[in-house]
Amino acid sequence: MRDPVTIFHLSDIHFGIEDNDALDWVKAEIDRHRPDAVAITGDLTLRARRHEFSAAEKWINSIDVPVTIEPGNHDLPGYHLPSRYLRPLGRFEAFRELVERRLEVDGIALVPLNTNVSAQPRLNWSKGWITLRALQDCLAQIDALPSGTRVLVTAHHPLREAGTHGTALTRNGAKALEALARRKVLGVLSGHVHDAFDIMEETPSGPVRMIGAGTLSHRIRSTPASFNELTWDGETLCVIARNMEGVSTHDMMVEEVPEDALPPREEGEPVAPVRHIPRTDPPVE
Ligand SMILES: [Fe+2]
Ligand SMILES: [Fe+2]
């Protein structure tokens, strides 16, 4: 039996409103378990400000395992339109080589799929949009991998709604999922909705597993700050959502995706209470 590959899937740290207790805990877990890779699926910052990126850089540089980062909608300059159009990822300059980075570890490849665009023909630009070029880039990278390589796609927005309180409403998500189903990817990792999930999505070309990580910021929705721990033993991909109260079981429901997207939470509407889940993992030392 091979040694399992372990990947820590983090998302939505939102430096600016980051949860430092949660980040200290995650860093200690990374140091203790030394995963083969850390995948961060976007929204590193709150408003793409320089001091937020500096804090992100400092924290990411403290991790000494391979890291790949997907940009999120919060990481594009929001108020400076020329930068948003001409250099949407310009603020990542200090660690640009980690962004949209393909990582290969022991038969598993993490392949990026960009779900952000600089502008959209709809009012809410925070939602996901997969351009033809972004999809082609992702598929070309998958198709170029050595045969037998298993693929985890990293994206910021879930490609379809996952029944969470927050929504992604990703345009062209269904088309992307179908193309990924044809390639039999192991799963699509995403963030954005600030709650963890793990569901199978049916497409005309077969099922695709969609795995979402929660947030490590104070902007929680229905569940506490958390990250996902993925292990692959060559046959089974095991996903657990971990938070400081314990390992979530309730938040990792495998169920059908509802037909209708849930409406986004209104400004000022109270956040649902945090579920307290019995601790089942070893206490942090
Ligand atoms: Fe976010
Ligand atoms: Fe987001």
Q: For residue 25, what are the contacts with CB-CB under 8 A and spacing of at least 6?
A: 244, 284
Predicted local distance difference test score (pLDDT) of residue 242: 92
pLDDT digits 0-9 by tens, 111-169: 999 999 888 777 788 889 999 999 999 999 999 999 999 999 999 999 998 888 888 88
Between 281 and 127, the more confident residue is 127
| Residue 100 contacts residue 72 (beta carbons within 8 Å) | no
Residues with CB under 5 A from ligand 2 (ion): 43, 72-73, 192
β-bridge pairing 108-112 and 150-154: parallel
With 0-12 CB in 10 A as exposed, 13-18 as middle and 19+ as buried, what is 208?
buried
| Cα–ligand 1 centroid distance for 43 (angstroms) | 5
pLDDT digits 0-9 by tens, 39-51: 999 999 999 999 9
**Whole-number mean pLDDT of the chain?**
85
Backbone angles phi, psi at 129, to 5 degrees: -150, 120
CA of 217, nearest ligand number: 1
| Cα–ligand 1 centroid distance for 59 (angstroms) | 18
SS3 label, residue 232: strand
| Cα–ligand 1 centroid distance for 139 (angstroms) | 25
Domains of the chain: 5-252 (3.60.21.10)
